[in-house]
Amino acid sequence: MNGEQKRVFSGIQPSGDIHIGNYLGAIKKWVEIATVHDAIYCIVDNHAITVEFDPKSLPIRSFEAARAVMACGINPEACTLFVQSHVPEHTELTWLFNSVTPLGSLFRMIQFKEKTRSALRKALSKKSGGARATILHQIKGVATTVLENAAQIGPDLAALDPTADPNEDLVARLNDGMGNIMQQLQVGLGVSNASAGLFDYPVLQAADILLYKAGLVPVGEDQEQHLELCREIAERFNRRFGNIFPAVARIPGQAPRILGLDGKQKMSKSLGNTIGVLDPPDMIEEKMARAFTDPKRLRKTDPGRPEVCNVFTIHTYFTPKEICAEIETDCRAGKLGCFDCKKIAAKHIDVALKPIRNRAKDLEANPKRVIEALDQGAERCRKIAGQTMTEVREAMGIGPGALKKSSIGG
């Protein structure tokens, strides 16, 4: 690295086909800054195993994610690309970071709440009859017990005067009561089948970044809360064990948050509401035809509201400005219907994605280029990770190096 260069780290999960949200929110920026900084990009398979997955297809998915990322313009000669699980230090650092991560901070993470909610919804939609009723009974049981416990701590809560000397019995009862509620809430999480890995996901993410002492992280807006936690972990670690880790800053992508074709939720691999960067033209057109638009616009002649229409937002990222302006005017005037508007969007998305598809085809014919890039990337990363871990282990007093340096070992 020269004086001007900073280290950049970012990752993407091989949890499904890479989509235009990933591209606009992160990968496009990855490509741009790879020429300026020392950029390390990672296919984060250890993250992808925190929800349901198929072990047989996971390595293929990782390869496919790397191929898609390279097709989007990541040149492994200009930056480092690798698969997370090929560098085992990521999981070791996660465990060490767990010791400085407050549980309370993890419970605040929105992504965990969203993913457990959608796992529960999925489970309910898949199950039928008795299995569905069992889940609903469990949820009812948990919610009822939470309410009962909350009612029990009511009188103690009313009696607690924070300005007076503490009544130790009362404080202990309150604490126990809150502990019971927390236990029930955890049972609730069990019902939704959330794994400990999903809960710990942001700690692994902090380890990914800090293992390379990266100061810049190009990720979508949805990851800002996880980066805040990463800063908190670095600060807590540095305060306790010595100044090893830098402060990290987010580099925003081109688009803060692309909504899915449902027009409601974030475009997500796992939600089936995406346009993939490698989708063929007919698939793009077919998917766009299903996309939600302004719900108040029932007929073509109704005046449209582009500001609430996700299809129009997608236009702004793919369609040339002058055409976008015409679309906006004609939509508001009730001259351009949603059907035609979506066709125009599909055409411009296809124009933007065509070169990516072509590069992906070349890589499909020459998979060795992807495998070699990943091997070289992992080799470089293992070296950097090894150096950081030596420092971390010694600072925390673990590992053979620390024993040798101790009063007994010396």
Site residues (vs ligand AQP, CB under 6 A)? 11-13, 15-16, 21-22, 25-26, 219-220, 222-223, 255, 257-258, 266-270
Helix then strand then coil, % of the chain, to nearest 5: 65, 5, 30
Q: Is 213 exposed, middle or buried (0-12, 13-18, 19+ CB in 10 A)?
A: middle
Contact (Cβ atoms closer than 8 angstroms) between residue 14 and residue 61: yes
- Contacts with 332 (C-beta within 8 Å, 6 or more apart), sequence order: 303, 304, 305, 306
Contact (Cβ atoms closer than 8 angstroms) between residue 83 and residue 90: no
Nearest approach, Cβ of 157 to ligand AQP (angstroms)? Answer: 38
Amino acid at 366: N
Nearest approach, Cβ of 16 to ligand AQP (angstroms)? Answer: 6
Nearest to 105 by CA among 224, 240, 200: 200
Pairing of β 7-12 and β 38-43? parallel
Q: Distance between CA 391 and CA 410 in Å, rounded?
A: 18
Q: Is 208 exposed, middle or buried (0-12, 13-18, 19+ CB in 10 A)?
A: buried
Q: Which is nearer to ligand AQP, 250 or 342 (CB)?
A: 250
Name the residue number minimizing CB distance to ligand AQP: 25
Q: Which is nearer to ligand AQP, 153 or 314 (CB)?
A: 314
Nearest approach, Cβ of 58 to ligand AQP (angstroms)? Answer: 13
Q: Which is nearer to ligand AQP, 260 or 306 (CB)?
A: 260
Nearest approach, Cβ of 31 to ligand AQP (angstroms)? Answer: 13
Q: Distance between CA 57 and CA 63 in Å, rounded?
A: 10
Q: Which is nearer to ligand AQP, 15 or 319 (CB)?
A: 15
Q: Which is nearer to ligand AQP, 189 or 314 (CB)?
A: 314
What is the enclosing helix (H) or strand (E) of 11? Answer: strand 7-12
Q: Which is nearer to ligand AQP, 76 or 220 (CB)?
A: 220
Q: Is 327 exposed, middle or buried (0-12, 13-18, 19+ CB in 10 A)?
A: buried
Nearest approach, Cβ of 258 to ligand AQP (angstroms)? Answer: 4
Q: Which is nearer to ligand AQP, 15 or 80 (CB)?
A: 15
Nearest approach, Cβ of 306 to ligand AQP (angstroms)? Answer: 19
Nearest approach, Cβ of 55 to ligand AQP (angstroms)? Answer: 17
